[in-house]
Amino acid sequence: MDSFSAITARMPALRAEITAHPERHRILTGERPTGALHLGHLFGTILERVRLQQMGVETFVVVADYQVITDRDSVGDIATNVREVVRDNLAAGLDPERTTIFTHSAVPELNQLLLPFLSLVSEAELHRNPTVKAEAAAAGRSLSGLLLTYPVHQAADILFCKGTLVPVGKDNLPHVEVARQIARRFGERYGAVFPEPAGLITTAPELPGLDGRKMSKSYGNAISLRMTAEETAAVIRRSQTDSERSITYEPDRRPGVSALLDTAAVCLGRTPADVAEEIGNGGSGALKRLTATAVNDFLAEHRERRAAIDPATVSEVLHDGNARAREIAAATLAEVRAAMGMAY
Ligand code: TRP
């Protein structure tokens, strides 16, 4: 597999190619509807997909409901979570006229691609996937068959619509590599059906959670997009900092302070060091006030748009998106059957 730095080095050329020829590309990306989306999702992938959509690249967003059961027994309030994911994507600026938003469970032809795809990977390869290993360790339980094979299912997400670009965070890059391998191996065995997709690493640095660890709802360190301004100010106020008056950006030594600086900086479009300098000897109180204001100002419009999206609109977007995804998946599956000599 190409190293992260090799992939990063290719990004400027890839971005130039997309700008010059948006019509040559199709984007597929998505998220697991395990709970409310947070600020890390917004900066990490959602705003990026909105920019790409605005550049004229056809975009698909999978609300990956079958991925929810990879590492847990219960789906939780899946219907609400799916609808909230759709709502946040729309509020961020995704236009359902130009972007297809759909769920796994509504597109059987996509899921069927999993069977031929599974035959193209070895058990050892599945066990070697670093993200699967990390997720299995974090789940603290034995690996489910679906967790082991979900990168292959994710390849079906990408390849059913012949996606060429996959905007992902760093932790999902190994999965894009799996999709590339499957596209290539399918081509070698049965003839060319799938283009090889490329991972598109977002230009935004990964936003840490309020304690400096990865932002995650399960760590309780996330700023959820559905929090009110008051709730946002409250979680920031409760976040763990230290008692040094002088505010400096030192992620290793001062994770809490630095995470707040990262958060404020990304919302203000400035560097964390610059924000630290502005606060100077103001201490954690001033840092927290500044951060809360920066986040709330940044999210004000998103929250307004979010509140204006009614449940009927969300239903309609999902219904139309699922129908369109199904049409495309059925056409791809027909090509796959023909390539495999299974068109009876
Ligand atoms: N695994 C991704 C995540 O956890 C979500 C996802 C599902 C995805 N299918 C995808 C991302 C296909 C990119 C492409 O965030």
**Cα–ligand 1 centroid distance for 150 (angstroms):** 10
Q: Which of 49, 114, 129, 157 to mutate to test the pocket of ligand 1 (most atoms within 8 A of CB)?
A: 157
pLDDT in tens, 93-133: 999 999 999 999 999 999 999 999 999 999 999 999 999 99
pLDDT in tens, 282-331: 999 999 999 999 999 999 999 999 999 999 999 999 999 999 999 999 99
Using a pLDDT cut of 90, give the percent of the chain over it: 83
pLDDT, average across residues 72-101: 95
Q: Evaluate: CB of 34 within 6 angstroms of ligand 1.
A: no
Residue located via tokens 């003839």: 191
**Cα–ligand 1 centroid distance for 271 (angstroms):** 29
Q: Which of 2-6, 70-74, 291-295 has the lowest mean pLDDT?
A: 2-6
pLDDT in tens, 210-239: 999 989 887 889 999 999 999 999 999 999
Mark out the alpha helices in the chain (DSSP H runs): 4-20, 39-41, 47-54, 78-92, 108-112, 114-118, 123-128, 130-139, 145-159, 173-190, 229-238, 255-268, 272-279, 283-308, 311-339
* Mean model confidence pLDDT for the chain: 94
Q: Is the pLDDT reported for residue 141 higher than 90? A: no
Q: Which of 26, 67, 202 to mutate to test the pocket of ligand 1 (most atoms within 8 A of CB)?
A: 67
pLDDT for 313: 97
**Cα–ligand 1 centroid distance for 131 (angstroms):** 12
All domains of the chain, ordered by start, with CATH? 4-206+310-339 (3.40.50.620), 229-307 (1.10.240.10)
pLDDT, average across residues 178-197: 98
Q: Is the pLDDT reported for residue 243 higher than 70? A: yes
